[in-house]
Structure 1
Amino acid sequence: MEAYLPLLAVIIDRLVGDPRSSLHPVVMIGNLIAFFERKLLKLQHSSLLKNVTGGVLVVLVLGITYGTSWWIMNLLGMIHPWAQFIGGAILLSFTIAPDSLAKAGNEIHRYLVTGDLKQAQYKVGWIVGRDTDQLDVAEVTRATVETIAENIVDGIISPLFYFMIGGVPLAFLYRAVNTLDSMVGYKNDKYRDFGMCSARVDDVFNYIPARVTGILLVLSAILLRLNVYGTITAIWRDAAKHPSPNSGFAEAGVAGALGIRLGGLNYYGGVASQRAYMGTATTVLGPIHIKQTIQMMYVSTMLFTIGITIFLFMGR
């Protein structure tokens, strides 16, 4: 039955979505990280000591997350195989986020097409870290497309990839890795040293899934009759330009498929930051590209889900 668990998890995510609750496992992982951060991070510590305590944070959070999810899955298995199957699918659905990404993108798209730019700026500010109050329609679109594209890796392919290798516990371990990076993996004065281990572990864990995502986006472009040559060219030419060793594969792939250019000038707290360009602009960025990115996300999700289902079924 385990072979069908990813498919059921994707269906649950699509039907139920991602409930907002303090009891959500990812929220609980975030609370665990915050607790240990308060205990371990002392700003007066040396850079070396911050590196060490940051490594301790990673070990503690990953160990507790993996151990807890392993214990829950074994407990469910002792109750009944069906309890383990259904419970495992529900737990796995917490580690993926296609429905959340689609809802966020569709909401911003709706505000853009109805002319409510202010509300679109406000909503896109929920999913990106850059300043959004001065963005025009094209820039709101770019921010939304970049975020959805990047999260195809972090929010879908990576957790499913690690489920394929090590079941629900390893999928949760990956989710803890990604949550650590999103909370402390910043290159600012506070987290540069303390969060270095978290950021590097996240880079390692996403290395293979990011490149698998590039392949999935090429296949998605074929199925959706988008620019396949542009997808391949943009990934080959532009992916390495991204400051992240992994995010460029998804962003460049989407940009090439849609004939748009991502990257450019962003502002963070009023400070300008130039991001390398991805793709070649053959059309002006507009709300339709949000919809097309969501379509590519869903096709990539289903292709990978079907692929790992077949892989697991054949490996029985």
Structure 2
Amino acid sequence: MNSIWILPASLLIDLSLGDPQGFPHPVRLIGKFARYMEKLTRKYISSERFAGIITAISVYSISFIFPWAILEFSRYLHPFLEELASVFIIYTSIALKDLLDHSKDVHSALHENDLEKARRMVGRIVGRDTATLEEPEIVRADLESVGESLVDGITAPFFFAVLLGPSFAMLYRSINTLDSLFGYKNETYLKFGWASARMDDLANYIPARLTAPILCISSALLGFHPLRSFKILIRDGRKHPSPNSGLCEAALAGALKIQLGGINYYSGIPNEKPKLGDPDRKLDLNLILDANKIIFLTSILSSILFLSLGQLASWVLSIFKA
């Protein structure tokens, strides 16, 4: 990505518009196509794992080819149109405003002492059962979601957009979407979702390891607890079943001096996640706003870092070409 203004412009549009209701968002279209391919491959391919692999390859290919074709056609018409198309593609690959807005909705409901509404609101961003959660568990669910989504919905798309281009940012979102749809370790998706889950682990490996230390720095700039954040990141970041999700969750837990993890219920079935951090602070609704501040600043600092890395890479390549 050659123009340094493209990523900031994409981020500003996301912060201004978010994901307008009724807008045919590419990520939603990817999800619909994935469901269609799931039905098709399950019908005609007897091996669940092979059906999942074919589904993943099909979705990844379409998700990359369409934005690539748009960019190529736009460049053929005019280079500036290619840059505008790049802004749009990157904008639709990130979800910072929606993440913060959904989290604020949970906070607002708790502030109004409307527990039922808070359960519904947090149910929009987590997959666990929420119908019986009390305030501390609602707060924990919210914080775990924003900690994990920081990479999935914001910094990883930034990373791929800057270093490989907008088409790769959308390819990444298709990888993340398939993991969200199929990456469950249950009877239905253990084999079918194997490829989707492994690809998501691979795609997030570097972005997660770049983002977590930036979160520690953000906690310092905002007056939280950076040393504790880094300590918990190192101590607990790899306890999570996912090789990537636990890193930012652990760093966030340390920054806020809280403990995340514990027992969650999925369709009534208990699932215990490792505990990240120490329970030095009670889980209350004010933590949601604190976490949002950290997530926002981490997103901004990550975009600056990745842009800097992109410019450095371009400079190094220019030396070798000279």
Same fold (TM over 0.5): yes
**SS of aligned partner of 1:31:** helix
Match of 2:40 in 1: 39
Conservation of the 8 A alpha-carbon contact between 1:117 and 1:137: yes
1:247 equivalent in alignment to 2:245: yes
Counterpart amino acid of residue 238 in structure 1:
D
1:163 equivalent in alignment to 2:161: yes
**SS of aligned partner of 2:19:** coil
Counterpart amino acid of residue 55 in structure 1:
I
1:88 equivalent in alignment to 2:89: no
Q: Equivalent residues in 2 for 1:95-174 (5 A)?
A: 95-174=93-172
RMSD: 1.5
Q: CA–CA distance in 2 between the matches of 1:310 and 1:234? A: 28
Q: How far apart are residue 198 of structure 1 and its match?
A: 0.6
Unpaired segments ≥5 residues, structure 1: none
Q: How far apart are residue 63 of structure 1 and its match?
A: 1.1
1:219 equivalent in alignment to 2:217: yes
Match of 1:27 in 2: 28
Q: CA–CA distance in 1 between the matches of 2:67 and 2:206? A: 23
Counterpart amino acid of residue 173 in structure 1:
L
Conservation of the 8 A alpha-carbon contact between 1:230 and 1:257: yes
Match of 1:14 in 2: 15
Match of 2:5 in 1: 4
Q: CA–CA distance in 2 between the matches of 1:168 and 1:44? A: 33
Match of 2:320 in 1: none
Conservation of the 8 A alpha-carbon contact between 1:2 and 1:312: no
Of structures 1 and 2, the one scoring higher in RCO (CA 8 A, sep 6+) is 1
Counterpart amino acid of residue 258 in structure 2:
I
Q: CA–CA distance in 1 between the matches of 2:106 and 2:170? A: 29
Counterpart amino acid of residue 72 in structure 1:
I
Deviations 1:33-86 (A, max 9, x none): 1111111014993xxx21112111111111111111100011111222222212
Counterpart amino acid of residue 62 in structure 2:
I
Q: CA–CA distance in 2 between the matches of 1:161 and 1:174? A: 10
**SS of aligned partner of 1:104:** helix
Match of 2:254 in 1: 256
Match of 1:228 in 2: 226
> What TM-score do the two structures reach when normalised by structure 2?
0.94
Q: How far apart are residue 186 of structure 1 and its match?
A: 1.3
Counterpart amino acid of residue 124 in structure 1:
V
Q: CA–CA distance in 2 between the matches of 1:101 and 1:27? A: 16
1:194 equivalent in alignment to 2:195: no
Q: How far apart are residue 274 of structure 1 and its match?
A: 1.3
Match of 1:295 in 2: 293
**SS of aligned partner of 1:273:** strand
- Which of 276-285 and 20-29 deviates more? 20-29
**SS of aligned partner of 1:262:** strand
Percent of matched pairs sharing the same residue: 35
- Which of 141-150 and 270-279 deviates more? 270-279
Match of 2:236 in 1: 238
- Which of 266-275 and 97-106 deviates more? 266-275
Counterpart amino acid of residue 279 in structure 1:
G
**SS of aligned partner of 1:265:** strand
Conservation of the 8 A alpha-carbon contact between 2:70 and 2:85: no
- Which of 35-44 and 177-186 deviates more? 35-44
Q: How far apart are residue 287 of structure 1 and its match?
A: 0.9
CA 1:111/1:43 → structure 2, altered by over 3 Å: closer, same or farther?
farther
Instruction: Give aligned pairs, total.
Output: 313
Conservation of the 8 A alpha-carbon contact between 1:9 and 1:89: yes
Conservation of the 8 A alpha-carbon contact between 2:157 and 2:170: yes
CA 1:80/1:174 → structure 2, altered by over 3 Å: closer, same or farther?
same
**SS of aligned partner of 2:6:** helix
Q: How far apart are residue 2 of structure 1 and its match?
A: 2.2
Q: CA–CA distance in 1 between the matches of 2:286 and 2:142? A: 11
Q: CA–CA distance in 1 between the matches of 2:135 and 2:184? A: 28
CA 1:95/1:44 → structure 2, altered by over 3 Å: closer, same or farther?
closer
Counterpart amino acid of residue 12 in structure 2:
I
**SS of aligned partner of 2:280:** coil
Counterpart amino acid of residue 6 in structure 2:
L
- Which of 301-310 and 173-182 deviates more? 301-310
